[in-house]
Chains A and B, each alone.
Chain A
Amino acid sequence: MSDHRLALFRAMVRARVLEDRLASLYLSGGIPGGSVFLSRGQEAFSAAAAMQLRPGDVYAPLIRDQAGRLVRGETPLDAIRVHLGRTTGVTRGRDGNIHRGFPRQGDLAMISHLGSTIGTVAGWLMGLRQLGKAGAPGDLAVGLASIGDGGMNTGALHEGLNIAAVEKLPFVLCVTDNQLSYSTFSDRTYACRSLVERAAGYGLRGVAIDGTDPDACWAACRDAVARARAGEGPQMIVAKLLRLAGHGMHDDASYVPAELKSRFADGVQTYEVVLRKDGVLDEAAAQALWDEYRSETAAALAQAQAEPSPDPAQEPWTALSTRALA
């Protein structure tokens, strides 16, 4: 029991430390372009979901999934390299910040267009079926995708999710209702009481959870992934929490009222208290953990900063992989 709780907390802290460093780097002008998007407040749900996956599964993280990405094997160095646009990064400076992944391993590199990855994950799972690589019920390869309360309203989400349901795919949709899409509150983006009500409309199983409670996140994710893997078809989890940052570092989120903020906890802080109370962690161990990740991030940053930026003269400037046509 406590093993996974410690691992979950570790993943949350690791993401928090990395993102805090990226945030300060942004403020000091150290990010060459764009913004930095923080998952502050969403670490638990992201990590808990990714921790249920295994090699061969498909993962489609979104804007606020630093924790899940780290769980899946990304390193802070990978993340920093892409933020700095280094040639050593997976996108080699061609794309930045959150638009990164390891598609050969089933970790999709999101495009900005919200909702687009839902049908892609469905297609991947259909592809595995075609290739005879989907596995048997109980052992199915699972696809897990993230979406926000904003992205839930795209046509792409609807089309992709409906296809996943029609095909009865082992698909898990993790919906993070963080009360906001950019500066717009949920009352302007959907009219049902909870987004989980939509699950029934697609013919899939849905559960609503408190996204600020890491143990609740863990339990719901474990159950949903297990059900998908067993062949019960697509699952939806709606986690309610608050985005504890601006949309990106360029946004001070001054539009978020204090009253709303007072209603939502920061899972990283509260979980540390809970784990210490439960004896999973003592003060020294907690401190050591934060220190470990601070030095990991510092070392990764130092390394990435010493690495080369792309040279436009070396860039082949072709978007086709077929050499004969490039």
Chain B
Amino acid sequence: MSSTYIEAIRRALGDALAEDPRVFLYGQDIAGTFGGAFKATKGLAERFPGRVLNSPISEDGQAAVGIGAALAGCRPVIEFQFADFASVAFNQMVNHAATHWWRTGVPVPATFRLPAGGTPGGGPFHCQMVEGWLTSHPGLIVVAPATVGDAYHMLRDAIACDDPVAYLEHKHLYNHLRIDTDPSRAERLPLGKAAVRRAGRDCTVVSWSGMVHECLKAAEPLAEQGIEIEVIDLRCLRPLDTATVLASVERTGRLLVATESWPFGGVAAELCAWISEHGFSHLDAPPRRLSAQDTPVPFHPDLFRAHHPDAARIAAAVVETVEF
């Protein structure tokens, strides 16, 4: 059995629905034979009648439904059509879901699925990586799987988690990433743990979601130049597994964080600040961020490709960091 990233998501949703009567899905265009803008729920409405429900175009309302259903004892999975539109549900996620346990002692086990990240031609409102604003608020877990196995396991873990989880799934990976095994049998790491995807001694290169694959791509030509990078996939962006990154930096003495997201604030800035603060004595070069351009995501494919880091730019930044 083989599986793409999007098939792993569908499989995780199907398995969760089959195993747990508290699970139901609520989102735009996800029901019927249509099965969602990206087909993540294709076939599930037929398999689980009454448990895969179309919503109006009401992101705030969808998130509110998720919160209410979670409080009633369900494990709702709320699908936003694009992560970009989750901005309309920002209030419900960060002010309602994320504060609830802390304020009342009653957790909100809702999962929010956000199809995120850039694809050529998507433009400013269908390509955003939104972890910057989601991770700044306490009480919300934010995950961003980069592999087919993680797409499966982290969605199952998100649904099983008592706290609200924003699950950022990368749209470019949907059909570009495939494994030849059953994703449910892929290695399952605990929620909150980063993964070392490639070991190396010269520079720690941290990323998440789609950018992990650009980092891995950069590793080959760098190795030919004699530079071995250690590629860390954060997997979970909130909380951040700083321990795994610090342990790596202790060995390599160098840190590059590559992100498809914007340069101001956000996960890359947080990680660089944290390592500067807690790993200063291990550093042989300044921690470095490689981010998208500080503009909205452009429409034209040429502009789009120049907007965010790629393997070539990651490799060049690694060389500069190593030669510092």
Say if A and B assemble together: yes
Alpha-carbon distance between A141 and B70 when the two chains are bound, in angstroms: 16
B61, B70, B98, B106: most-surrounded residue (chain A CB, <10 A): B61
> Which chain A positions have C-beta within 8 A of B24?
126, 130
> Which chain B positions have C-beta within 8 A of A125?
68, 72
Beta-carbon contacts under 8 Å, B32-63 to A: 50-51, 53, 55-56, 58-63
Whether B162 pairs with A321 at a CB distance below 8 angstroms is yes
Residue from the list A99, A159, A318 in contact with B60, Cβ < 8 A? A159
For chains A and B in complex, what number of residue pairs have CB atoms within 8 angstroms? 159
Size category of the binding interface on chain B: 35 or more
Whether A325 pairs with B191 at a CB distance below 8 angstroms is yes
Chain A CB within 8 A of B183 CB? no
Chain B CB within 8 A of A123 CB? yes
> Which chain B positions have C-beta within 8 A of A108?
71
Chain A CB within 8 A of B207 CB? no
> Which chain B positions have C-beta within 8 A of A36?
none
Q: Which of A89-97, A254-262, A278-286 contacts B (4 or more CB under 8 A)?
A: A89-97
Whether B96 pairs with A111 at a CB distance below 8 angstroms is yes
Alpha-carbon distance between A125 and B105 when the two chains are bound, in angstroms: 21
Whether A162 pairs with B95 at a CB distance below 8 angstroms is no
Chain B CB within 8 A of A76 CB? no
Q: Taking A127-B76, A320-B139, A321-B107 as contacts, is the C-beta distance between A111 and B60 under 8 angstroms?
A: no
Whether B61 pairs with A127 at a CB distance below 8 angstroms is no
Closest residue to A323 on the B side, CB-wise? B162
Chain B CB within 8 A of A116 CB? yes
Please encode chain A, from 299 to 326, with 1 for each CB lying within 8 Å of some chain B CB and 0 for all others: 0000000000000000000111110110
Q: Taking A162-B58, A166-B56 as contacts, is the C-beta distance between A156 and B106 under 8 angstroms?
A: no
Closest residue to B64 on the A side, CB-wise? A119
Closest residue to A320 on the B side, CB-wise? B163
Chain A CB within 8 A of B138 CB? yes
Whether B68 pairs with A127 at a CB distance below 8 angstroms is yes
Residue from the list A91, A127, A162, A324 in contact with B72, Cβ < 8 A? A127
Alpha-carbon distance between A124 and B104 when the two chains are bound, in angstroms: 17
Whether A116 pairs with B72 at a CB distance below 8 angstroms is no
Closest residue to A99 on the B side, CB-wise? B103
Alpha-carbon distance between A79 and B95 when the two chains are bound, in angstroms: 22
> Which chain B positions have C-beta within 8 A of A155?
60, 88
Closest residue to B91 on the A side, CB-wise? A113
Closest residue to B104 on the A side, CB-wise? A109
Beta-carbon contacts under 8 Å, B88-129 to A: 88, 91-92, 95-96, 98-107
Closest 8 CB pairs of A and B: A123-B68, A119-B64, A159-B61, A127-B72, A127-B69, A123-B65, A319-B139, A159-B58
Q: Which A residues lie at the B interface, using CB under 8 A?
A: 58, 90-91, 94-95, 99, 101, 103-104, 108-109, 111-113, 116-128, 130-131, 133, 155-156, 159-160, 162-163, 166, 318-322, 324-325
Q: Could you name 27 residue pairs across A and B whose Cβ atoms are closer than 8 Å?
A: A108-B71, A111-B99, A116-B92, A119-B60, A119-B92, A120-B68, A121-B68, A122-B61, A122-B65, A122-B68, A123-B64, A125-B72, A126-B53, A126-B65, A130-B74, A131-B21, A131-B73, A133-B72, A156-B91, A160-B58, A163-B58, A163-B64, A318-B138, A320-B138, A320-B139, A320-B239, A325-B239
Given contacts A94-B102, A111-B99, 5 further A-B contacts (CB under 8 A): A90-B104, A119-B63, A119-B67, A127-B73, A162-B58
Q: Which B residues lie at the A interface, using CB under 8 A?
A: 21-22, 24, 26, 50-51, 53, 55-56, 58-74, 76, 88, 91-92, 95-96, 98-107, 138-139, 141, 161-163, 190-192, 239
